[in-house]
């Protein structure tokens, strides 16, 4: 009797274990980008439709937006969420439905109302073949696309909503490139001063939330405008176009001594310490410009000792994503790039300095 009961228990437990294990099985290569957690994302008056499309691009899945999906979004999203989770969260926050149909995200529309697919064709002017396929793959799977590169034409069977989204994406992507000269500055401010002006969150040192904040400084003639006085650490100008991101690094190289066992001499490796910037500008109409930013903060996250007792820094790289809409005269500000605390990531440190000044903070101005 006990043996039978034990056997029944084993047969009951085994399906339960399979149920708990299978959902967490590794996904195939095709879904790696979709399942990958993203860095923290900061949105400042960003166009909601462009944010959805940017997330779909990062997650490598197609996305269809209903015409009713409109507006701007300002909020930070914590790191670790997947692109799929961020799409679902933003849809829920703004009151739109989100369905998944054959791997495609459908936001704000009823899957039952998609209608039949009929043959359609589209032409482009400025993009190359690879770029136009990548653009339309944000709407429909690329396997459905038939490309006639010589005639600059793409054909496929599409329903009415797919057709509308394809035309929208092509209208944004297939434009004559516009060049932008962007000034980037790293400025160290007094911490209390930027908190009083609302540029930086006034968070306690033990807060689990990121102190980074994305905001803008109004044009010089606006009420309450004006940049607080600060110390310029680094700055440069970079060129970017509406279809090609500009990239620059602000900072310095820090000598790190590398000791190897049984080696007669130590090696010195120079590692970057500062901020890597990638910025893609887009004209949004009415003089507005949207900035898509990928920032890589390289800082000293702590210190370790070599076998002979010397202390060497540990370099950490943290990525931050941001999207900000600017009106003429505004300056985008990403504040809080240095963190207080001796062992926290610091943006720019001089040799011998083991932590950022707790009374200061570094901001990126664009």
Do residues 316 and 301 touch, judged by C-beta distance below 8 A?
Answer: yes
Where along the chain do its domains lie?
115-173, 179-365
Angle subtended by helix axes 160-173 and 48-59, to nearest 10: 90
What CA–CA distance (Å, rounded) separates 342 from 307?
22
Residue 111 and residue 160 in contact, taking contact as beta carbons nearer than 8 Å: no
d(CA 60, CA 272) in angstroms, rounded, equals 30
pLDDT one digit per residue (tens) for the chain, 366 residues: 434 444 444 433 333 333 333 333 333 344 566 678 899 999 999 999 999 999 999 999 999 999 999 999 999 998 999 999 999 999 999 999 999 999 999 999 999 888 899 999 999 999 889 999 999 999 999 999 999 988 999 999 999 999 999 999 999 999 888 899 999 998 888 777 777 666 765 554 444 456 688 888 886 544 445 566 778 888 899 999 988 899 999 887 777 766 666 666 667 777 777 889 999 999 888 889 999 999 988 877 777 776 667 777 777 788 899 999 999 989 998 887 753 334 444 444 444 444 445 577 788 898
As to burial, measured by CB atoms within 10 angstroms (0-12 exposed, 13-18 middle, 19+ buried), residue 312 is: middle
3-class DSSP state for residue 215?
Answer: strand
Q: Which two tokens stand for residue 37?
A: 């957690």
Topology, domain 115-173: Ribosomal Protein S8; Chain: A, domain 1 (3.30.1370)
- Does the pTM surpass 0.85? The reply is no
Q: How many CB atoms lie within 10 A of CB 46?
A: 25
DSSP 103-153: TEEEESS-GGG----EEEEEE-SSS-HHHHHHHHTTTS-GGG-EEEGGGTE
- Distance between CA atoms of residues 336 and 364, nearest Å: 9
The dihedral of CA 224, 229, 231, 235: what is its sign?
Answer: positive
């Amino acid at each position: 009797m006990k043996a039978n009961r034990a056997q029944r228990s084993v047969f009951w437990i085994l399906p339960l274990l399979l149920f708990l294990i299978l959902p967490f099985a590794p996904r195939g290569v095709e879904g790696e980008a979709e399942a990958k957690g993203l860095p923290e994302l900061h949105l400042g008056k960003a166009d909601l439709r462009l944010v959805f499309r940017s997330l779909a691009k990062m997650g490598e899945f197609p996305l269809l937006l209903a015409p009713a999906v409109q507006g701007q979004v300002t909020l930070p999203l914590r790191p670790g969420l997947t692109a799929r989770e961020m799409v679902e969260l933003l849809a829920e926050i703004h009151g739109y439905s989100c369905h998944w149909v054959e791997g495609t995200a459908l936001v704000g529309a009823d899957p039952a109302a998609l209608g039949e697919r009929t043959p359609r064709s589209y032409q482009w002017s400025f993009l190359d073949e690879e770029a136009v396929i990548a653009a339309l793959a944000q709407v429909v799977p690329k396997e459905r696309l038939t490309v006639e590169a010589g005639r600059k034409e793409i054909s496929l069977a599409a329903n009415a909503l797919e057709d509308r989204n394809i035309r929208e994406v092509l209208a944004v992507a297939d434009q004559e490139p516009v060049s932008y000269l962007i000034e980037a500055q790293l400025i160290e401010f007094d911490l209390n001063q930027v908190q009083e002006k609302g540029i930086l969150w006034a968070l306690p040192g033990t807060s689990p939330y990121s102190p980074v904040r994305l905001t803008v400084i109004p044009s010089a003639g606006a009420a309450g405008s004006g940049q607080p006085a600060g110390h310029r650490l680094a700055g440069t100008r970079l060129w970017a176009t509406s279809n090609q991101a500009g990239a620059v690094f602000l900072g310095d190289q820090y000598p790190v001594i590398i000791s190897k066992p049984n080696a007669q001499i130590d090696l010195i490796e120079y590692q970057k310490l500062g901020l890597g910037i990638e910025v893609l500008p887009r004209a949004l109409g009415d003089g507005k410009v949207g900035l898509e930013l990928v920032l890589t903060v390289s800082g000293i996250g702590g210190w370790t000792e070599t076998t002979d007792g010397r202390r060497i820094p540990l370099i950490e790289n943290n990525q931050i994503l941001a999207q900000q809409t600017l009106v003429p005269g505004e300056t985008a500000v990403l504040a809080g790039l240095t963190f207080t605390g001796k062992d926290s990531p610091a943006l720019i440190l001089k040799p011998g300095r083991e932590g950022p000044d707790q009374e200061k903070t570094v901001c990126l101005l664009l």
